[in-house]
Structure formats: structure tokens, C-alpha cells
Amino acid sequence: MPFSQRVVALGIRHPRAITASMVISALLLIAAVAIPTLLPGSLPLPPVRVDTDPENMLSRTEPVRLYHDSMKKVFDLNEIIVVGVVNDSHPEGVFNPETLRQVYELTEYAKTLRGEVIGLDDPMAGVVPMDIIAPSTVDNIEQGGPGEVKFEWLMKEPPATEEEALAVRDRAAKIPFLQGTLVSESGKALAIYLPITSKDLSYRIYSKLQKKIAEFPGAEQWHITGLPVANDTFGVEMFIQMAISAPLAMLVIFLLMLYFFRKFVLILAPMLLAVYVVVVNMGLLIVTGNTIHIMSSMIPIFIMPISILDSIHILSFFFDRYQKFKDRRKAIEHVMDTLFSAMLYTSLTSAAGFASLAITPIPPVQIFGIYVAIGIMIAWFFTMTFIPAYIMLLPERTLARFGSMISEEDDSGPDTSTRLGRLLAGAGVFTFRHARIVLVGAVLLGVVAAYGISKIQVNDNPTRWFKHSHPIRVADRVLNEHFGGTYMAYLALQPESTGPELGEYAVDLEARLRRTVDEMNLDEEPKNALLAIASLLHEKGAETQTIQELRQMLHKEADDRLNAASEALMTADPEDSVAESLVEAWEDLLLFLDMEEQRNEIFKQPEALAYLEKLQNKLLETNVVGKSNSLTDIVKTVYRELMEGNADYFTIPETARAVAQCLITFESSHRPQDLGHFVSHDFRETSLWVQLKSGNNQDMKYVTEVMDAFIAENPPPFGLKHHWFGLTYINVVWQEKMVIGMLNAFLGSFLIVLLMMTVLFRSGLWGLISMIPLTVTIALIYGVVGLMGKDYDMPVAVLSSLTLGLAVDFAIHFLSRSREYHDLKGNWEGAYPLVYGEPVRAITRNVIAVAIGFTPLLAAPLVPYNTVGFFMAGILACAGLSTLFFLPALIKVLEKLLFPQDKICRITCRCGTCVVTAVIATATVALNVQQFLDMTWTGLSLVSLVVVLASGTVCFFMSRRESCKTVSDEK
């Protein structure tokens, strides 16, 4: 018994066993998921875990993530929730006692949002109170009176009068760190920044804040945004979404099938099957310890249409044939026999298409691809067994009035009794009569698609996963209008090397020492004494091994001389100014030597601070960056206030000592820890805070490109190197990986499917033709994406695999049945009307059922689901139409080539097919090997070329062997 019959026989002979095994396996998996989730720890199995963090698009060990984490530690940075308030009704905006009272109250409330209050055991988890940026938690530095510097809270308590409220605004306006960050330039808005210990707490905190805000009376509009909130909220809504969309989609598909087949009991089977496949698939996903990510949450939506496709083919055929057999067993055996290989191949190709996602470098996409592929194969197996089993379990009488009543002797051909039948028949005639016009149309479409593809913009923005009207989107818009930007990225500067070599250093040190001594304006005697130290550099310097030792040696020598000078001073005549000036000279020299120790504190050097300032100016020129904050801003502000608030001193002080003294003054405030957010404890690394007005990856990418170019042209001092970190930047990195990864995955799966098609049809030409609907569909879909100006984002990227899976299905069914009918009738003219009968009806039913079935996704409040819904319909329509029009037109034109007279159908007997197969196989292997082994393309290409040449030679001889001789050859 051939494989096909053995599989099908399972269902037909043991219908109860098949059904029972499905019920039991589903229940077991449900239990295996539900028990650990509801009663944690009761079973050694993982519970349901949700992961909506786009950061996880990259593996945890991805360098950019490791760097991000290490920098967050160095600078003690947290992810931030931004709460904004806008007051348009008060003439002074938010700067009135009432609004500021609310701001104060909300800040105080936010401070409590950690530990138990938000339901956590760890008392430190949640909002980090000491790093909150709010009017009542930040310091103001200003003039208290003549020569007096004042540090105080910007708004210690809510102001009682209008004047006091305005004073808060005016004070903030003078602090560059606050203007545009805390306070909008218009004065209409104010923002509070809440750092949180972990991103996945944002939704809890968001909800608590919303509740508190709801208690406030008045005309203020409150907004909450920030990437962590967007991510976490997405997760929560995603779940709601899954619970609504997937069942709704099922319902619509069910109603459509009811319309097509009019037999409730019969269509129940594919619905049950789809539910079963989804349950088993998601169950396996969870039991194996995978998280439900944005990608894997879409698995049910992908599995369902694909698992229903085959069932519809079977039912459609069964519907058309049942009345001919009037015996369910014979009818189903006939149906399965006819469709088996097509269905096997469609499933294998779809599975291969999705499995190819496993070679993308993005873990959630890999999981998604693998599990959809597994789901497809589970669906295939149970379609082959359960659908026949189900039909066998139905009493024959329930089918009495089932199916198409017109029963002709042979294959039915076009069904003219229905509108759909007539329409399809007409389409068949059209493709036969106007094949060339159809093909010209295809070429024109291809040109339009190519133009569209050239316009594609690669971009994503996790905030835009929400609809335009969603509170998070609204908050995002409003706050970015008023402030420097709510999207944070950080530009870190670090020295690459640890410092100069000893010899090089000694030379520089001597020069600096001599210059310093010169600048002291000393008399001859002390000057020569000091310069003797410089000559020691030569005499004793050779004995030292390290810079540290060299400095210690000099320090000791100078210290000894200072002590001697001090002792001389004690005994000297009080009027002796020489003795005293000698002591002072040695003290100054020791200071110089001690300052040498601090030379590696790069970010106290005015030169380094000036470079930061230059970077900041360049950042502002991009227009994407609304504001940036750096150590330089802090130094300049403190310097100005120390110099009596004189705006002329809003500059970088001239010496490293002056910078250090400004910084220690800053540290004497309420928030000394703020310094650590900008510079590392050793002053060798700095982070520049960049506030972007948009979370678009392309904007962030643009900023990085501009800065790369700028830094290349203006090399930083001290051999500093720059690196980006921050969530906004991480999004760019994973997106770039995704685009390239998806392209590779698509190429890989395209080749695998092409190889399978060539094998299936035993012909390179047929293989290529079968790829046409999916090629056209993908071109058109991405062409439309480009023409519409829709960003190429994560959901759009995944669509290519879906297209591959669905479009090739239709092509396989269409072509395999075409071949069958061509064999039967001997020519295409006779065959095509039959093809446009049952086979095309099945394809059309599939297109309609699945396309319409997923329209409920359009109503979802989350954009990725809308995108999938919209393009799902588009893909099906495109794939269906290109199968029904372009394939028959091609067959008509290429009939002689496609149906040669010799009938030997072995790949090895056709030289061309054999070579094509070898090339595709080699390319497929090469593409995958490259992904896994990181081999260089040059090496791989050479190996591939050798393999192709070798197999070409083998093909040449194989196709000329005796057993391949056909009747026509002999003639």
C-alpha cells in the first residue's frame, strides 16, 4: 500500500481512535499549560510567560544589549516613564497654583509606587524616587544675594500664589537641564520623568497613575508615554486582542464555509481541526518553555487559515463528487487519492517557508517560524486522518442531500448553475483566448511593483503599534510637541586605550613640568631648584617600570624637598620672603604632580567638555533631536552661578581644576547622584542624553549616521570612541538585523520551495512556473507597501513567509490538476474547462474564506494585527488571481514545452532540469551554510561553483544514458 493510502486508511479504518487521540492530546496539553500557570510550582513545567519587550527581538547575548546593560550599570540609568500635563485654559499654562499642586501631589504619589503598593515583594522594585525628575525633586541653583549662591528645591512645596507659580517657571527656564525637559518652552506644559527599576512594571505603574490622575479636577490634560509604557501596555492589550480576534476570525470562516457547503455537521470538522491545531501548537510552545512574544502571539492567526486550506480542498472536492458515489467511504477515498500528493506538497512547502525563518538572527522570529511550521505539519497529518475519520463517523443518511446535485459522468467541468461557477468558467475562457494580453498585464504589474518596492521605507516604531487615537499615541504626539522629546538614546564616549606608553609619557611630562615652572614666575634660585626635578626624569626615570612608579618617584623627591624647605622656613627669619616663596614653589610643584595623577580623568578636561558641546550642537541640527543633556551643561550652569549669575560665564571654565571645583559644588546639592548619570566615577566615560522627538527607527538611524560622519570628520580628543545605547537605539539594531535576516530567510525558503517544486513536477520548467504566483504576489504586496508609504516593519516583514506558504499552495493545486486533466484530454484546450471546474472552485473558496475570515483583525486596536489582517486579504486575493490568470496563460503559451511528447519523467533524464535542480540545491545549501557557519561569500561561491560544474557534468552523462532513450529518440 502506498504511503498516501496508509495515512488516509488510518482515519478511515480507525475513526474513533484518531478522534480519541486528538481529544486526549489536546486535554493533556491544556492541563500541562493550565496547571503550572494557575498553581505555580505544582508541576515541573513552565507557566505561561508573556514577553512584549522589543529588546528581546535580539538575543540576550547580542553585543548591543550587553553594552546597553553594562552602560546602564556604569551610569546607573533606568528606563523612564514620562508623565506630562498640559493646561491650555489658564493664561499662564501649567504655572498656576492649582496645576502645580496637582503636579506636586502626583509626584508625591509616584514616589510611593514601589514594593507592596504595586504588589511586589521587593521593596525597591518600582519607581526610583531619588531619580524622579519633577519640580519638587530637582535642585535649582541661583543667586541668593550679592556673592551668595543658593541651592534649593525648584519647587519645595506647591506655590500658594500666582506669582510664586510663575517664579517656578522662571527659575526652571534658567537651568538648561530643565528647560525643554521638565518645562516646555511655551510654559503650557510640564513633564515628570519617573525612572523605573524594570520595564515590565510600567503597565502597573501606568494604571496606578491613571487612577490617581482621574481624581484630579480641572482642565488639565494628563498624558503618559515613554517606550516602556508602550511596550508593556502592548503586551496587555495583545492578550485581549488574541482572545477576541482569533475566535472572531474563526466565526467568520465558519459562516463562510456554511455558505459554501451548507452542511453544518460537515464543516464542523475543519473548525474543530483548526482549534485542535492551535491548542496543540500553542501548548507545545508554552510547555517547551518559550515565551509568548508579539510574534508568537500571531501564531494562531497564521495557523488557522493554513490548517483550513487543505480541509476546504477536501470538502470542496467531496461536495462535488459525493452524489456521484453516494458512498462516503468510496467518495472520500477518491478525493484523498486525487488530492493527497498536492496537499502533502502544499504543506511541506508552507512548512519549509516558515521553517526558513529559523535562520533569521532574531529569536522571536525563529520561534515563530519553527512553531508555525510544526503547526502546519500537525494540521496536515490530522487533515489527512481526522477529516476522513469524521466523515466516516457521520451516518450516511446525514449526507443524503449533501453536495452538488449535478452529477455528470466524468469530471464535472464548470458548474454553470451558480454565479461563482459561471464567473470562474468565464475567467478560464478569458485566459485561454487572451493569454498574451494576460501575460503583458502581468509584466506591467511587475514594473509597477518594482517601482513600489524601490520606494519601501524600512522603519518601525513600537509606539505606532497603537492606533492613532490610542491614549499612548496621543500622549506621544502632545508631549513631543511640547518637549525636547520623550524617546531617550544615549551617546557614550570612552577612551579606547588606557593611556600613553612610559617613554612617550616621560617626554610629555617633562615638557609640561618645564612649562609649569616657567609659568610660576619664580626667582632664579627656586626656579633652578624646581627644574632639578625635571632633570631627575632622565637620571632616575630610567629605573622606573611604569608611569605610576615614575610619578611616585618624582612625588617623593618633591615632597622631601618641600619638607626641607618647610623646616628651613621654621627657623628662618620671619621677614625672609625667599624661604616662604620656596615652600610655596614646592607646594605648587606638588600640586602639579598630583594633578598629573588626574590627567586620565578625561571628562574634567575642558577640551573633552568642549567636544561634548560640539556634539550636542550637531545633534540639534538633525531636527530629530529636540534636546540633549550632558556633563558640559551641568558645568556651564554651575560656573555661571558661581560667577554671580553672569551670563558671560555660561561657558566651560579654562582649567580642569576649575571644572573639578564646579563639579564638587554641584555635588553639594540635594542630588549629587545626578552627576553619576552623566559621567563614570573615574571621569573616563561619559553619556550624552539624547532626547528624540520620534521613536521612528529611521529617525534614530539618521541621527547615528549624521553623528558617525561628524565624528569621523572631527576626531574626538584623548582617543575617545563613541557608541550608542538606549532603547531607541536598540530598536534600530534589531530592525536592521530583521530586514537582512528576513531577506535571507526568504531567499532560502524560496530556493527550498523551488527545489521541492522541481522534484514534485520532475521538471525545472514546471518548478519555475509554480513559483510565479508567489513571486507576483510578493512583488505586488511589497510594491503596494512601498506605494502606500506604509513602513516596512516587523509584521510586514513576516508577511513574506505567509505569502510563500499560501501562494504556492494554490499553484500546486492548480498545476497538478492541470497536468492531470491535460493527460486526460491530450491538450490544454480540452483540459482547461475542467480545471476551471472543481479545482478552481476549491481555490476560490479558499481565497474567499481565508481573506474574509481575517477581516475582524482590521477592527483591532493594535496596528500590527490590522496590518496582518489587511495584507492577509491582499495576499490571498493576489495569490488567487495570479494563480487563476497567469498560470493558465503561461500554460497556453508554453504548452509545447510543458507537455513534451516523451513521457519519461525522471529528473536525471532531462539535462536542463537536472542542472537547474543542482544549481538550486547548491544555492540553498550555500545560503543556509553561510547563515550558520558565518563563512565568507567568496569561499562559498567558489565551492558552490565547483559543485555546480561537477553536477552539471553528471547530469550531462546521466541524461544520455540508455534507459532515458524514449520512443521519439529512437525514431
Partner 1 sequence: MIKHAKMMLLATCLITLTCSALAQDAPSVDEIIKKANHAAYYQGSDGRAKVKMSIKDKQGNVREREFFILRRNADDKDEEQQFYVYFNSPADVREMVFMVWKHVGKDDDRWLYLPALDAVRQIAATDKRTSFVGSTFFYEDVSGRSIEEDVHELVETTDNFYVIKNVPKNPGSVEFDSYKVYIHKTTFIPVKVEYEKGGNIYRVGEAQKVDTIDGFPTVTKNVMKDLNSGSETTIEYLKVDYNVGIPENIYTERFMRRAPRQYLN
User: Which spans of this chain sit near partner 1 (rule: CB under 8 A)?
Assistant: 73-74, 76, 112, 123-124, 129-130, 139, 144-145, 147-153, 156-157, 583, 591, 594-595, 597-598, 601, 604, 639, 642-643, 653, 655-662, 664-665, 667-670, 672-673, 675-676, 680-682
Angle (CA) 623 131 220, round 5°: 65
In whole angstroms, how close is the CB of 667 to partner 1 at the nearest point?
3
Burial of 544 (0-12, 13-18, 19+ CB in 10 A): middle
- The strand pairing partners of 194, in sequence order, are 81
Quick one: DSSP state of residue 176? Answer: T
Q: Is 615 helix (H, G, I), strand (E, B) or coil?
A: helix
Residue whose grid cell is 513545567? 45
In the bound state with partner 1, the residue whose beta carbon lies nearer, of 111 and 223, is 111
Taking alpha carbons only, the member of 708, 703, 706 closest to residue 729 is: 703
Q: Is 80 helix (H, G, I), strand (E, B) or coil?
A: strand
In whole angstroms, how close is the CB of 171 to partner 1 at the nearest point?
14
273 within 8 A of 307, measured Cβ to Cβ: yes
In whole angstroms, how close is the CB of 562 to partner 1 at the nearest point?
11
| DSSP string computed for 249-271 | HHHHHHHHHHHHH--HHHHHHHH
Which residues are CB-contacts of 165 (< 8 A; sequence separation ≥ 6)? 92, 95, 96, 97, 100, 159
In the bound state with partner 1, the residue whose beta carbon lies nearer, of 439 and 643, is 643
In the bound state with partner 1, the residue whose beta carbon lies nearer, of 85 and 662, is 662
Quick one: DSSP state of residue 84? Answer: E
In the bound state with partner 1, the residue whose beta carbon lies nearer, of 538 and 657, is 657
- At how many degrees (to 10) do helices 3-13 and 15-38 cross? 80
Burial of 809 (0-12, 13-18, 19+ CB in 10 A): buried
In whole angstroms, how close is the CB of 672 to partner 1 at the nearest point?
4
* Rg, the chain, Cα only: 37
In whole angstroms, how close is the CB of 156 to partner 1 at the nearest point?
7
In the bound state with partner 1, the residue whose beta carbon lies nearer, of 243 and 664, is 664
Through-space distance between the first and last CA atoms of the chain, rounded to whole angstroms? 37
SS3 per-residue string spanning 458-486: ECCCHHHHECCCCHHHHHHHHHHHHCCCC
How far apart, in whole angstroms, are the C-alpha atoms of residue 710 and residue 158? Answer: 45
Quick one: DSSP state of residue 220? Answer: -
How far apart, in whole angstroms, are the C-alpha atoms of residue 135 and residue 119? Answer: 28
659 within 8 A of 653, measured Cβ to Cβ: yes
In the bound state with partner 1, the residue whose beta carbon lies nearer, of 152 and 895, is 152
In the bound state with partner 1, the residue whose beta carbon lies nearer, of 75 and 466, is 75
In whole angstroms, how close is the CB of 922 to partner 1 at the nearest point?
53
In the bound state with partner 1, the residue whose beta carbon lies nearer, of 104 and 319, is 104
In the bound state with partner 1, the residue whose beta carbon lies nearer, of 100 and 625, is 100
Q: Is 515 helix (H, G, I), strand (E, B) or coil?
A: helix
In the bound state with partner 1, the residue whose beta carbon lies nearer, of 73 and 397, is 73
Quick one: DSSP state of residue 963? Answer: G
In whole angstroms, how close is the CB of 57 to partner 1 at the nearest point?
28
461 within 8 A of 697, measured Cβ to Cβ: yes
Q: Is 203 helix (H, G, I), strand (E, B) or coil?
A: helix
- The strand pairing partners of 628, in sequence order, are 690
In whole angstroms, how close is the CB of 806 to partner 1 at the nearest point?
53
How far apart, in whole angstroms, are the C-alpha atoms of residue 92 and residue 862? Answer: 37
In whole angstroms, how close is the CB of 20 to partner 1 at the nearest point?
59
In whole angstroms, how close is the CB of 935 to partner 1 at the nearest point?
41
Q: Is 646 helix (H, G, I), strand (E, B) or coil?
A: coil
Amino acid at 161: T
In whole angstroms, how close is the CB of 798 to partner 1 at the nearest point?
40
In the bound state with partner 1, the residue whose beta carbon lies nearer, of 60 and 657, is 657
In the bound state with partner 1, the residue whose beta carbon lies nearer, of 164 and 667, is 667
96 within 8 A of 161, measured Cβ to Cβ: no
In the bound state with partner 1, the residue whose beta carbon lies nearer, of 109 and 710, is 109
In the bound state with partner 1, the residue whose beta carbon lies nearer, of 641 and 809, is 641
In the bound state with partner 1, the residue whose beta carbon lies nearer, of 156 and 433, is 156
Q: Which residues of 72-97 are buried (b: 16+ CB within 10 A; e: fewer)?
A: bebbebbbbbbbbbbbeebeebbbbe
215 φ, ψ (degrees, to nearest 5):
-75, -20
538 within 8 A of 509, measured Cβ to Cβ: no
In whole angstroms, how close is the CB of 723 to partner 1 at the nearest point?
19
In the bound state with partner 1, the residue whose beta carbon lies nearer, of 59 and 661, is 661
Q: How many CB atoms sit inside 10 A of residue 500's CB?
A: 16
In whole angstroms, how close is the CB of 67 to partner 1 at the nearest point?
16
In whole angstroms, how close is the CB of 676 to partner 1 at the nearest point?
6
481 within 8 A of 810, measured Cβ to Cβ: no
In whole angstroms, how close is the CB of 469 to partner 1 at the nearest point?
39
Q: How many CB atoms sit inside 10 A of residue 910's CB?
A: 23
Dihedral of the alpha carbons of 6, 7, 12, 13, in degrees to the nearest 10: 50
In whole angstroms, how close is the CB of 564 to partner 1 at the nearest point?
15
